[in-house]
Structure 1
Amino acid sequence: MKARTLRRHFKESIKSLRRNGWMTFASVSAVTVTLLLVGVFIVIMMNMNKFAHDIENDVEIRTHIDLTATVEEQDQLKQKLEKLPLVESVTFSSKEDELEHLITTMGSAFSLLEQQNPLHDVFIVKTKKPTDTPKVAKEIEKMEFVDSTVYGEEKVESLFRILHTSRNVGVVLIVGLLFTAMFLISNTIKITIFARRREIEIMKLVGATNWFIRWPFLLEGMWLGLIGSIIPIAAVASGYYYAYDFLAARIPGELLKPLVYSPFVYQVSLLILLIGVVIGGWGSFMSVRKFLKI
């Protein structure tokens, strides 16, 4: 495409936005509301995914070693654990370390156990995939020198089901909102094109190609998506700034911390912008296609 032709298409698309002021306003408003909802859902879903990832990675199998096992037998057990194909790491924690951790988390009352420590030495096993935890735990329970395994069986399996369901629901909602935005833009452009159907017919009669007719409408849809994304980007960026400060100050530790403001907000802003431009262009493309009877 020649530069002069491209400039002509840009000018025509901008003129069309001005000529159809109220339709432009209606389209931009619809896109703004939809992209705002999409942006909020993306922020929520990305943080939920981060929380889920952190929780999944925190899942571990605590393998209690038999009290009668010797040091050599513990080494043999560790080698067996490390050879399991689904295991990522095996860390040893002595019963003294376990008691210290118990006193730290549960209170000084447990310091009485220091006189006669009843706890087990423990191998802390982490799997390559958190969802493999129950399967690996059952394998470990059958091994020699293992007294018991603890990984929160019912809670872990319920957690994985909840996380899987929430991710799927979030994806469905976002896809649904995107199709809604595309439908709104498409219908708005259709009304504009219907009002200019005679102009399109004349252009075709004088020999204009389908793409020559299509480009201004395609660019018009992209402009609608671009303009409609400005307010959602500003709202999401400012809203997340205050939400991040509020949550980060009230959530102890790093396990459930929200995603860091930068570069997360810039990535989301770029995604909202791209979504607006793409669905605007696609909505226009599909509308013009029907009128051109391709």
Structure 2
Amino acid sequence: MSKFRIYLREAIVSLSRGGGMAIASTISISFTMIIFGLILMLFLSLFQASNKIGDQVELLVFLKDNVSSQDINGLVGTISNMEGVSSVEFVSKHDAWEKFKKYFQNKINISDIKNPLPDTIKVRVKSPDYIAGLAKVISQFPQVDETRYPQQLLNALNILVQKITLIGSLLLIGFALASLVVISSTIKVSVLARREELEILELVGAEPNFIRMPYILEGSFIGFFSSLLAISFFIILSIFLSFAIANTAPPWSFFWPLDTSLWILMCLVVVIVGTFIGFLGSLISLKDVGKFSVTKDF
């Protein structure tokens, strides 16, 4: 039987012997991972919302009067081929005026007002980061009178993303460290509870790794299963939120549901962090427990 199989068997035996302590540890760490995951979920939903709001931002290109259809088509084609452009739509001054009159027909009398609106090209970008550069380039074309976009909104979104990244990262690191303390304390208690057994193993010549590795695997298992319990909670929460926010209009639909890629990312991060914290917590606890010579050189 390979050494890893032996270590794995001993880790499973240790978990089964731990019984209630192992279950209590898994539950307590699950709560910590749930809080960790909730912070991560909030971070990702805010990040998603800021991106979706940014995707809704349009660059409006107002054309000069009497621009020919041929020049308009050529300009639309040129803009469409620019880097960062996702879609281009031409709105004639006539169509824009008809929409304007329809919207305000019961609010103000505009029947005697001459159409003041210009022909307009609406430009959607792949990322808000492109919009300022595109506006600068497009404004140089001779057919263009003016370009407009919500600069203040974009600035606010950039500040929001920066703050979300900073605060979210600090909170995630904080709760990861809290989880590390919990699991290292749990493994330390388990080691101390079996002190006599481990001393006997040393006396009969057991290798240091034979004593250490089962506890390292045990901590990793506890972290892994705690993460799975946390993900089960997130699945239930996701179903509840999906029903609660179903068919809602923005801004709530910007936040939830999470895109599939973000949902998968969140689950992977929770599992990886939980397992790694279990592994690292075991190492720390074995270093701190100085009762056995096998742990002193680890």
Q: TM-score, normalised by structure 1?
A: 0.80
Instruction: State yes or no: 1:136 paired with 2:134.
Output: yes
The 3-state SS of whatever aligns with 1:248 is coil
- Closer, same or farther: CA 252–48 of 1 in aligned 2, 3 Å: closer
The 3-state SS of whatever aligns with 2:189 is helix
**What is the match of residue 246 of structure 2?**
248
Q: Which moved more, 1:21-30 or 1:87-96?
A: 21-30
Retained in 1: the 8 A contact 2:47–2:164? no
- Closer, same or farther: CA 85–241 of 1 in aligned 2, 3 Å: closer
CA–CA separation in structure 2 for the residues paired with 1:157 and 1:148 = 21
**What is the match of residue 206 of structure 2?**
208
Query: 5+ unaligned residues in a row in structure 2: which ranges?
Result: 289-294
CA deviations over 1:51-71 (Å, ceiling 9, x no partner): 222112112201010123333
What is the Cα-based RMSD across aligned positions, in Å?
3.5
Query: How many corresponding residue pairs?
Result: 292
The 3-state SS of whatever aligns with 2:141 is coil
Displacement, 1:184? 1.7
1:221 to 208, 219, 222: 219
- Closer, same or farther: CA 113–192 of 1 in aligned 2, 3 Å: farther
**What is the match of residue 38 of structure 1?**
36
Which amino acid letter does the alignment assign opposite residue 293 of structure 1? D
1:126 to 124, 127, 131: 124
Displacement, 1:193? 2.4
Q: Which moved more, 1:62-71 or 1:166-175?
A: 166-175
Displacement, 1:165? 1.9
Displacement, 1:100? 4.2
The 3-state SS of whatever aligns with 1:208 is coil
CA–CA separation in structure 2 for the residues paired with 1:114 and 1:240 = 54
Retained in 1: the 8 A contact 2:101–2:110? no
**What is the match of residue 292 of structure 2?**
none
* Higher helix proportion (structure 1 or 2): 1
- Closer, same or farther: CA 192–103 of 1 in aligned 2, 3 Å: farther
Instruction: State yes or no: 1:70 paired with 2:74.
Output: no
Which amino acid letter does the alignment assign opposite residue 158 of structure 2? F
Which amino acid letter does the alignment assign opposite residue 96 of structure 1? H
Retained in 1: the 8 A contact 2:44–2:262? no
**What is the match of residue 7 of structure 2?**
9
- Closer, same or farther: CA 263–52 of 1 in aligned 2, 3 Å: closer
CA–CA separation in structure 2 for the residues paired with 1:38 and 1:106 = 49
Retained in 1: the 8 A contact 2:52–2:254? yes
- Closer, same or farther: CA 29–79 of 1 in aligned 2, 3 Å: closer
**Residues 126-275 of structure 1 mapped to structure 2, 5 A cutoff:** 126-197=124-195, 199-204=197-202, 206-251=204-249, 256=254, 258-259=256-257, 268-269=266-267, 271-275=269-273
- Closer, same or farther: CA 111–193 of 1 in aligned 2, 3 Å: farther
The 3-state SS of whatever aligns with 2:257 is coil
Q: TM-score, normalised by structure 2?
A: 0.79
CA–CA separation in structure 1 for the residues paired with 2:13 and 2:104 = 71
Displacement, 1:271? 4.8
